[in-house]
Homo-oligomer: A and B are copies of this chain.
Amino acid sequence: MTADISPDSVGIVKPRVQHFAQSLQLESGSELPAFELIYETYGELNRDRSNAVLVCHALSGDHHVAGFHSPEDRKPGWWDNLIGPGKPVDTRRFFVVCPNNLGGCSGSTGPLTANPATGKPYGPDFPLVTVGDWVKSQALLADALDIRCWAVVIGGSLGGMQALQWAIDYPDRVKNAFVIAAASKLSTQNIAFNEVARQAIRSDPDFNNGHYYENGRKPALGLMLARMLGHITYLSDDVLDEKFGRELRHGKIRFGFEDEFQVESYLRYQGRSFVDRFDANSYLLITKVLDYFDPASAAGGNLAEAFKPAQANFYVISFSSDWRFAPPRSREIVRALLEADKNVSYVRIQSTQGHDSFLMPIPHYHQVVRTAMNRIAGTGGF
């Protein structure tokens, strides 16, 4: 089966790796002596280098946002429906950049990388990072690409948090920030779910305090549980009902513990396939990045105050069925931005797919992004 590479696809793409020889000081006080970011780009940077879009990925995302790595690929990048020639983020006009975040497991420096001090993978010794650290490393990537100012920084979920942090930390380097299906901090319930996921991984006997690479075994059951749980929170109750209802795998109840309901098989499948593509130490690290995010805390708990330095135009988008980062969480951001006298547009999109809506080609949502991006391209003259 070969990829169906249509005219509105960015086509076959190749990741690149940027090496940074300088050390990176992290918020925790730790320091990375050197690091690498793997990233992809689509489209062309224009002459005055003013049409660059930074895409920030969420928990389980990576740098492969659009297109295919080979003609044999069965699936395109994770936001392919949004990004490409003629798509809402139109790569005929914009130059799109997406790195894999530090601490991830898709090619950027993270727990899988060899620790220069030992020659073995960092594993659990990889320092915990923050959204601020990610943004700092992305700014160094922008420097390396000679991009002084992003036309747009865009992301959903944890990606939206990065867009917010960019606007705060580098006010003169972001013209427009798209903050989609995000929140200005996790709720207690969000932290609680993360904690259950972490406990599932860390209590897996194959976790071995994070030093599992040496054993040739990984905490597969724990990571599977974490993903199953995550998945439930990404989808709405309604979409689960629509997709699976109470449908039984074998037409009737069997009074046993093998999967009886279709939703059980679905979750187990999702959990298992995640284990093949994701690293447990990275998962743990990224849930902590989520928990720690709280830009207001640096401004005495006042979110509007935290937004004060920002100069970007903000586009905040939420989804009606998202209960992980529900519309009221987006409205908190909007209220604080207005209080800080910032330029902000807010749209709540009607959807049934829960938090995952931000990944879906929902016509109203895509229209909103398309219109905003066209306006940005128009005022930018590209």
Contacts and interface: CB of A to CB of B under 8 A. Distances in A.
Interface of A: 28-30, 127-128, 185-189, 191-193, 195-196, 198-200, 202-203, 205, 221, 224-225, 228-229, 232, 235, 237, 240-241, 243-246, 253, 255-257, 259-261, 263-264, 267-268, 271, 284, 288, 291-292, 294
Given A196-B232, A267-B195, A267-B196, A256 B128 contact: yes
Contacts of A193: 232
A187 B240 contact: yes
A155 to B, nearest CB: 22
Contacts of A229: 196, 229
The 9 closest A-B pairs by CB, nearest first: A188-B240, A28-B255, A203-B221, A189-B237, A128-B255, A195-B264, A192-B232, A188-B241, A196-B228
Contacts of A196: 225, 228-229, 232, 267
Main SS of the interface on chain A? helix
B199 A246 contact: no
Contact of A192 (B191, B199, B267): B267
A224 B196 CA distance: 9
Contact of A245 (B188, B243, B288): B188
A284 B260 CA distance: 14
A200 B188 contact: no
Contacts of A195: 228, 259, 261, 263-264, 267-268
A255 B127 contact: yes
A244 B294 CA distance: 16
Nearest to A266: B192
A246 B191 contact: yes
Nearest to A127: B255
